[in-house]
Structure 1
Amino acid sequence: MKILVTGGAGFIGSAVVRLAVSRGHSVVNLDALTYAACLANVTPVADNPLYAFEQADIRDRPALDSVFDAHQPDIVMHLAAESHVDRSIDGPGDFIKSNITGTFSMLETARKYWVERGKPNGFRFHHISTDEVFGSLPADPAMLFTEDTPYDPRSPYSASKASSDHLVRAWHETYGLPVVLSNCSNNYGPYHFPEKLIPVVILNTLAGKSLPIYGDGSNIRDWLYVEDHADALLLLATQGKVGRSYNIGGENERTNLELVKTICQILDRLKPRAHGTYADLITFVTDRPGHDARYAIDPSRIRDELGWRPSVTVEEGLERTVRWYLENEDWWRPLLARKGVGQRLGADQKPAQ
């Protein structure tokens, strides 16, 4: 089976690429190599004959047509997206272009390819999205996002992803394109680009810098280990029901403050400070505009239909993640010089010029 993965040099996409190749699938990694992409993410499979790389922008229809014609994929897994909420607040235009226009280009390219080949039954277009499209939940643990939760995006990022989800559903209903959709909770793990919360905390502790937490740290997220997510995505791409959406959650809800304190405790054990604990570095900063209070996934559909459940608890996953960053400074050190990394983003709400 040949799988075309868009955004395969990114965090989640590269996890899918590595896992798919390890399972014997031929994989084409299509990536524009924008600021958050890193080809080092796929170094473990780069020399494997099952792996191929194509540098292309998902908005470039001629380039996409060429890639599809050259590689003739059986499955498309569309992960390429701008995904950082704070960056979407500062520069929403990039999110509209990549997440909406880019998804439109991918859908049209995939539809043309599918039709020209006689609409093969096995072809699938798997669109990977986020639970942020559903908005915010109250603290009540009985309330969870399901596949039927109404969309209520609160940031330019989540609004752009909601729009892309609607496009994918429309292409299925209007043109019959065989699609599968999935919406996931917060991912973490190895190769996580160092502008997101968990790598920021790990790398700031190692540098002796403050650990910034938005607001009072009470915002709750459901944390999904990225390799568990990759496993679920491959399952859905091959066995998910056409036209159906699936929520993928880690079943690991934690407040941001609890999460940061857990990372500090792991580092206190693995790499103790000369004086005090890493938790002494925690500081509280002005909250993000429109910061959603809680995300929590009900994963019963993928569990009941396909037998999938996450295998890694957040404590286990954080331990693996911290150890990986301690052992892979040669991966993350160069990324700290990229634009915006290490800066507070999303605080300036002035309109773009």
Structure 2
Amino acid sequence: MPNISEGRFVVVGGASLLGSHIGEQLLAKGAREIVLIDNLALGSTKNIDFLLTDKRCSFVRGDALRLNELYDPMVNADGVFAVAGFLAGPLRANPWLGIDVNVRGLQNILEASRYQRVKKVVFSSSNGIYGAVGNEPNTDDSPLRWAGMPPALIMYCASKIMGEGLGLYYQQEYGLDFLALRYSAIYGERQHKRAIAVTQMVRAYESIRAGKRPIIERDGSQVTDYIYAGDAARANLMAMSSQASGAGMNIVSGIDVSQSHLVELVLSACDSDLKPEYYTDPDTLLLPIERKLGFSRARAKDSLGWEPQVSIEEGIAKMVKWLDQNPV
């Protein structure tokens, strides 16, 4: 497996929240060279400008849907982190492009990796592959339960399953080591506003800083599993250097956080005494109502030795500090 120290790595989707944290940790672990690829369709290089001051790190503007733009950056790469993808909200707005990016884009990444003899690809999947989980046991082997879900969420979940299937195909047919990491809701410094669950966190922050009461949707009992971006990035590095290959695994906190409690935590981090109010925008794409998730992270612990290190309280404090220092 690739050794992080002295290795050459490519991060496709490198200007994203997670991509920037992966790049940061690769530099800290002594990687010889890092190439961050991004089409900048949803942002700029602002998230990674601090990384590009290190001569070991470079940026290439490229698109996962253009196979020819992936070949050269992957020359002599030891490993590739496939982070680029559409989330459910943007996919609802443009399902044609979203499905293309999540399926064909990953296939292009895998094909370029195969052609350039990359040792391993670590894929950013999602625990969305389990769909509406209900109160069933939610292990790394749970099936997709999609009945009654909004169409955009069904398409998103299915696109991640297709991505995992493509990775397994390239592993079996071409010997390309592949590992899928199924994240819960990622948040942290350099936060964007495209993930449904984390958008609630950012909106609460923005309301509080504007002196307005933060909004809680529905009755606030909807729970989400949140994972700090630094913990998710660390899982990527551990996955890349591990012997594990083939089986997807959850990268989650394993802790259910209700939206009501989430808003309380943001209020506390903002040192605010405002009181939340309850309101649901009929045009908002909402997650299925789940009052219990209980995602297991057993496989990640057994296969990688990974466990989260940053609590939701610590993570929100870090995010709020960053948002305060980086006003939009």
Match of 1:303 among 280, 301, 304: 301
Match of 1:80 among 84, 107, 112: 84
- Give the TM-score normalised by structure 2: 0.87
2:218–2:279 CA contact under 8 A, matched in 1: no
Q: CA 1:296–1:166 in structure 2 vs 1: closer, same or farther (change >3 Å)?
A: farther
> What are the superposed Cα offsets for residues 174-222 of structure 1, whole Å, 9 maximum, x if unpaired?
3332111111111111111134222222122212345343332222111
Does residue 33 of structure 1 match 2:40?
A: yes
Amino acid at match of 1:242: S
State the partner residue of 1:344: none
Amino acid at match of 2:79: I
Q: Which runs of 5+ in 2 are unaligned?
A: 1-6
> What are the superposed Cα offsets for residues 217-243 of structure 1, whole Å, 9 maximum, x if unpaired?
222111111101111111011114122
Instruction: Tell me the number of residue pairs that the alignment of Structure 1 and Structure 2 aligns.
Output: 309
State the partner residue of 2:214: 211
> After the TM superposition, which parts of structure 1 deviate over 4 Å for at least 4 consecutive aligned residues?
287-290
Does residue 175 of structure 1 match 2:179?
A: no
Deviation at 1:144, TM superposition (A): 4.3
Match of 1:59 among 58, 65, 73: 65
State the partner residue of 1:293: 289
Which has the higher mean CA deviation after the structures are superposed, 94-103 or 316-325?
316-325
- Give the TM-score normalised by structure 1: 0.81
Match of 1:48 among 36, 51, 54: 54
Partner of 1:9, secondary structure, is coil
Q: CA 1:50–1:289 in structure 2 vs 1: closer, same or farther (change >3 Å)?
A: closer
> What are the superposed Cα offsets for residues 10-33 of structure 1, whole Å, 9 maximum, x if unpaired?
011111111111211121101111
Q: CA 1:157–1:24 in structure 2 vs 1: closer, same or farther (change >3 Å)?
A: same
Identity %: 23
Deviation at 1:282, TM superposition (A): 4.9
> How far apart in 1 are the matches of 2:276 and 2:181?
39
Match of 1:11 among 17, 22, 30: 17
> How far apart in 1 are the matches of 2:10 and 2:137?
32
- Say what the alpha-carbon RMSD is for the aligned residues: 2.0
Q: CA 1:108–1:220 in structure 2 vs 1: closer, same or farther (change >3 Å)?
A: same
2:228–2:312 CA contact under 8 A, matched in 1: yes
Does residue 235 of structure 1 match 2:238?
A: yes
State the partner residue of 1:132: 128
Q: Which runs of 5+ in 1 are unaligned?
A: 115-119, 334-353
1:31–1:54 CA contact under 8 A, matched in 2: yes
1:216–1:284 CA contact under 8 A, matched in 2: no
> How far apart in 2 are the matches of 1:79 and 1:245?
15
Amino acid at match of 1:173: Q
